[in-house]
Structure 1
Amino acid sequence: MSTTDKGSVSCSITTNGIARVSFYHPAQNSLPSSLLANLADEILKAGDNEGVNVIVLQSLGERTFCAGASFEELLQIKDKEAGARFFFGFAKVINACRTCKKIIIGRVQGKAVGGGVGLAAAADYCLATEAAAIKLSELTIGIGPFVISPVVSRKIGVSAFSHLSICATEFLPSQWAKEKGLYNEVHQDITALDTAVATLAEKLASYNPAALTALKATLWEGTENWNELLAQRAAISGELVLSQFTQQALNSFLKR
């Protein structure tokens, strides 16, 4: 387990090769840079582990899956280089999911906001509950969903991504996310979700590992330039976060 003052990332592996990579943060599972780095590392380590056949990516708790970036940390950014480094933390997690050799199952038990939507999109197959509404709220604080746009658009298409990005104050229901292709399955509650995740993981863990690795590579064809692309997108967000608009918006949000 990798632990920070506020939050943790852990990985557990079953005897049949199912790895569960879990993250937690008390502020609605938001992700400061330390957790982003640890999360990327755990995904890559599980992918390189010959004893792992499939990975489940999940957060802990029964409510929010992931609230995205840590607003408290965003307020500490004082120059565009630091801003780019912070946002590239999300890029590292997306790229870890992309280059990881194992199929990743996303388990989304509750709302996903901003970077949380990006995490769901980075999974190869994503299951959610009916409570797992989604929102891209970046425009409301003066930035945009630039780093996650390639991975989200890849799943739901440009039109749906435009809707999600522009309607930045609106939570869209889990069924909308399923219809657009972000979620592959939507279940009534966490109990049903966990049953479905376990069933799928056990099936995948029993399949030919070489076939799963080949399928993984096929699913991500055409994304070979994402290291550079996402770094460019992180630089855009890193500069915008310094704007007066964003600093005021973040302060207002944290005072609520």
Structure 2
Amino acid sequence: MTNIEQGSISYSVADNIGTVEFHHPKGNSLPSALLKELADTIELAGKNEEVKLIVIRSKGDGAFCAGASFDELLAIDNFVDGKKFFMGFAHVLNAMRTCPKLIIVRVQGKTVGGGIGIAAAADYCLAHRDASIKLSELALGIGPFVVGPAVNRKLGTAAFSSLALDARNWYTSDWAYSKGLFNKVLNTTEELDEAVQQLASDLASSNPEAMKEMKDILWQSTGHWHATLEQRAEISGRLVLSDFTREFIQEFKKK
């Protein structure tokens, strides 16, 4: 994808490390076309025999991910399109879950909604000190239904409940680290990049068979996610059509 207004996905391989980077001019938000390309690229990297380890990151030094595209949410006018949009997030999470390669996620800034799902679906997640998080979906009238299984799996029900219900407030990177969303928090971008590169290099030189077995163990008991995430996408696809949600987004866009 080359249209900067629609965002872009880049994919490169060096030293057996596959790096997938997403970008969107509006806070690295994720419209449906970008979600599809992101899921497809993760699957492509997983099938590449040269790739031993995958790093997912977003472009720039601002927000890691602003979540769903508000412009696209407002354009949804029927249940089929609503479900289809939220299935985009489901496909990304399932691509990460079923990928035979371990995945590191680098989080350099604020992260909302679906971005937290991506961080939670990482096998190891490193973040900048400024990477605060917020699950804002309930404030929109939707709820974090699709990302819920990934966030609940990583943080536990109590912490997921805190994020999901306290939908208007940011939680710090230290809180996210204490709950297990972030495996490591670094003070500077340089330290973050060095830590990501070091871990990626270490893992890329490890036994691929052992890493695949480790991946399978880490994701045990998630085989139901295909059906579960589809059911969650149906809930979100229905709620996004509500007057509450549409009015909230319209007011938010005026700010």
Give the structure-2-normalised TM-score.
0.98
1:136-215 paired onto structure 2 within 5 Å: 136-215=135-214
- Structure 1: which amino acid aligns with 2:78? D
Matched, 1:248 2:250: no
After superposition, what is the alpha-carbon deviation per residue over 1:87-136, rounded to whole angstroms, capped at 9, x for unaligned?
Answer: 00000000000000100001000011010100100110000010000000
Partner of 2:221: 222
1:1-256 paired onto structure 2 within 5 Å: 2-4=1-3, 5-14=5-14, 16-256=15-255
Shift of 1:195: 0.3
* Distance in 1 of aligned mates of 2:187 and 2:201: 21
* Distance in 1 of aligned mates of 2:34 and 2:206: 31
- Structure 1: which amino acid aligns with 2:202? K
- Structure 2: which amino acid aligns with 1:134? I
Shift of 1:242: 0.2
* Distance in 1 of aligned mates of 2:16 and 2:117: 25
Q: Equivalent pairs: percent with the same residue?
A: 54
* Distance in 1 of aligned mates of 2:91 and 2:180: 23
- State the secondary structure of the residue aligned to 2:20: strand
Q: Which runs of 5+ in 2 are unaligned?
A: none
* Distance in 2 of aligned mates of 1:82 and 1:3: 24
- Structure 1: which amino acid aligns with 2:127? A
- State the secondary structure of the residue aligned to 2:156: helix
* Distance in 2 of aligned mates of 1:96 and 1:24: 18
After superposition, what is the alpha-carbon deviation per residue over 1:226-256, rounded to whole angstroms, capped at 9, x for unaligned?
Answer: 0110000000000000000000001111111
- Structure 2: which amino acid aligns with 1:131? D
How many aligned positions are there? 254
* Distance in 2 of aligned mates of 1:141 and 1:51: 42
* Distance in 1 of aligned mates of 2:92 and 2:2: 17
Shift of 1:3: 3.5
- State the secondary structure of the residue aligned to 1:40: helix
- State the secondary structure of the residue aligned to 1:75: helix
After superposition, what is the alpha-carbon deviation per residue over 1:196-231, rounded to whole angstroms, capped at 9, x for unaligned?
Answer: 000000000000111111111111000001011000
Instruction: Give 4+ residue runs of structure 1 displaced > 3 Å after superposition.
Output: 2-5
* Distance in 1 of aligned mates of 2:30 and 2:194: 27
- State the secondary structure of the residue aligned to 2:103: strand
* Distance in 2 of aligned mates of 1:254 and 1:235: 25
- State the secondary structure of the residue aligned to 1:19: strand
- Structure 2: which amino acid aligns with 1:13? V
Q: Which runs of 5+ in 1 are unaligned?
A: none
- State the secondary structure of the residue aligned to 1:165: helix
- Structure 2: which amino acid aligns with 1:135? K
Q: CA RMSD in A?
A: 0.7
Shift of 1:173: 0.2
